[in-house]
Amino acid sequence: MAALVLGTLAGCSSDSGGKADPTAGATHKAAAPVRLPVPDGFATETGWSTSASPEATDAEPGSSGFPLVAVAPTSGLVIQAAADGSRVRAFALASGKTVWTFTPKALTGVRAGVFVQEGKAGEKVVLARQGKTSGSGLSTSRRTTTIDVIAADSAKKATAAHHLDLAAPDDTAASFTATDSGILVGPVTDGVHEKAVAIDAATGAERSVQKRSVTVSGCGSGSCSVQASPAFATSQGVVSAFQQQDGCDQWAEGGTPCTYGFQVGDAWNSTSVAPSGMHVGIPLAVTGPYLVAAWHTSDTQTDPPTLSAPKRTILAVHDLSTGKIKAQVSCTSADAITLQPGSAQSSIHRSPNGDFLVSGQVGFDLSTGRGHCFTSTASTKGIDLTAVADDGTAYGIVHVVDDTEATSLYGRLPIAQDGTDTPEHDSARVSLRSGTATALPAASEVPVYVASGGHGVFRTRDVVAVYPGS
């Protein structure tokens, strides 16, 4: 892509830094479209666009971070938050018309993120902010994390159905780990929380979640208990990840291999659904009724699991409620990319018809159970997938290996940072039916969402644009 680089819809942070926010004007409206360089199949002469604020790198790579743009697919809305958290605006995806706006209680020094969650009560927009209260009057200023939940089908002047104010200790750098069905608030290390607050967007209820004891099989001659840390929340409960250290052979000297694994709520754990011969399972992401996990054998437990060569890794789509594998594919990569709990959450998307799914560098045809790898080889570069359409056409950014932690994490999309000269990225179009990949013209932007009617949503460092299919 050109100097305008895609900012992921989930996995970013932002701080206004005292600069004027282009999204904050009360009379702001979607304008005639800026004509970005996009793939064939999108009509850039029609549609709409609006200004956007750059999304800076999240302090905790691998978490879902602080995105400023999200899509509510059922409601047909593009949701945009101001960088300073002072306003949320919902645009009709097809027309760009402002459907509603939301103005939260004021905070200072804000980092804001906006998410869309789906439940039985319909789509909810979640505005998550870190900042400080004003300290006016007799009240002292204090750090806080606030959560505002707004119904996606709100009227013109939206109000929060639920408002949560969570005290934030001065020595704690909290983050948000959000999926389309749950949110955790708390410090993140290597993709997991020591402890966190789980938020139910439907009810506004909050509860504390911490490490839990999980029983795993294969500990020598029997079972043993391990401590599992919360990674992300789903409709089936919190997914917790663990690393077995006792009752196993950590040095691959002929004993029972140690296990990396995970527990999904109280429903199932990875040891009961692991593919044959796979001792390591990492929960990468969740969307709707599916969880994507990475599986492979392990020689030792001294290093984090990686997607590399020549050892093969199985990427699988599991039924979230039962653990049953719905689709899978075996992959290798010429790049050593760390597999971390939740690291592919920012890149997981289903096609609107539900037939296809992408996450990280793999894509699946759920109707056939087949998957395709778009990982690197000795002669080709990997592709980080960003969106998939109803016909199985997916788009992505050519993976760039550099010294940043973000590029070493599987599934993490590149983020456009404010005040930096972001390098150009190449991009590609792939078919999840055939597994073929085609390079796009230089400087092409790729969509972050493709609607059932063909509209593509594009996000650069300072523009959000929506173009109809041509």
Is residue 268 located within the same domain as residue 353? Answer: yes
* Distance of alpha carbon 99 from alpha carbon 116, whole angstroms: 16
Is residue 194 located within the same domain as residue 237? Answer: no
Residues near 67 by beta carbon (within 8 Å), at least 6 away in sequence: 7, 8, 9, 10, 11, 12, 55, 113, 114, 115
Note whether residue 465 is domain-resident. no
Is residue 294 located within the same domain as residue 371? Answer: yes
Is residue 299 located within the same domain as residue 170? Answer: no
Predicted pLDDT of residue 127: 96
Identify which of 222, 208, 221, 313 has the alpha carbon closest to the alpha carbon of residue 260: 313
CATH number of the domain within which 22 lies: 2.40.128.630
- What dihedral angle (degrees, nearest 10) is formed by the CA atoms of 104, 108, 109, 111? -10
Among 182, 210, 238, which residue terminates a domain? Answer: 210
Is residue 192 located within the same domain as residue 226? Answer: no
Is residue 206 located within the same domain as residue 223? Answer: no
**Which segments within 179-221 are labelled E, that is strand?**
183-186, 195-199, 206-210, 212-219
Is residue 232 located within the same domain as residue 351? Answer: yes
Predicted pLDDT of residue 184: 94
Is residue 141 located within the same domain as residue 205? Answer: yes
Is residue 162 located within the same domain as residue 281? Answer: no
Predicted pLDDT of residue 66: 80
* Amino acid at the residue 114: V
Is residue 279 located within the same domain as residue 397? Answer: yes
Predicted pLDDT of residue 54: 72
Q: How many CB atoms lie within 10 A of CB 25?
A: 12
Note whether residue 46 is domain-resident. no
**Prediction pTM value:** 0.89
Predicted pLDDT of residue 317: 98
Note whether residue 302 is domain-resident. yes
Note whether residue 166 is domain-resident. yes
In DSSP notation, 273-338 reads TPPTT--EEEEEEEETTEEEEEEE--S-SSS--EE-SSS-EEEEEEETTT--EEEEEEE--SS-EE
Classify residue 193 as exposed, middle or buried by CB count within 10 Å of its CB (0-12, 13-18, 19+): buried
* Distance of alpha carbon 410 from alpha carbon 231, whole angstroms: 15
Note whether residue 457 is domain-resident. no
Predicted pLDDT of residue 320: 98
Note whether residue 371 is domain-resident. yes
Predicted pLDDT of residue 461: 83
Among 210, 243, 275, which residue terminates a domain? Answer: 210
- Domain extent for 96: 9-30+56-210
Residue pLDDT tens, the chain, 470 long: 332 233 333 333 333 333 445 554 433 445 568 999 999 999 999 999 999 877 655 555 445 678 899 999 999 999 999 988 999 999 999 999 999 999 999 999 888 899 999 988 899 999 999 888 877 666 778 888 999 999 999 999 999 999 999 887 666 667 888 999 999 998 888 899 988 999 999 999 999 999 999 988 767 667 888 899 999 999 999 999 998 877 777 766 667 777 889 999 999 999 899 998 888 999 999 999 999 999 988 655 557 789 998 889 999 999 999 999 999 999 999 998 999 999 999 899 999 999 999 999 999 999 999 999 999 999 999 999 999 999 999 999 999 877 666 568 899 876 554 444 445 689 999 999 999 999 999 889 999 999 999 999 999 888 999 999 98
Among 190, 210, 230, which residue terminates a domain? Answer: 210
Length of the chain: 470
Is residue 300 located within the same domain as residue 368? Answer: yes
Is residue 274 located within the same domain as residue 153? Answer: no
Counting the structural domains of the chain, the total is 2
Note whether residue 372 is domain-resident. yes
Note whether residue 318 is domain-resident. yes
Identify which of 101, 97, 149 has the alpha carbon closest to the alpha carbon of residue 123: 149
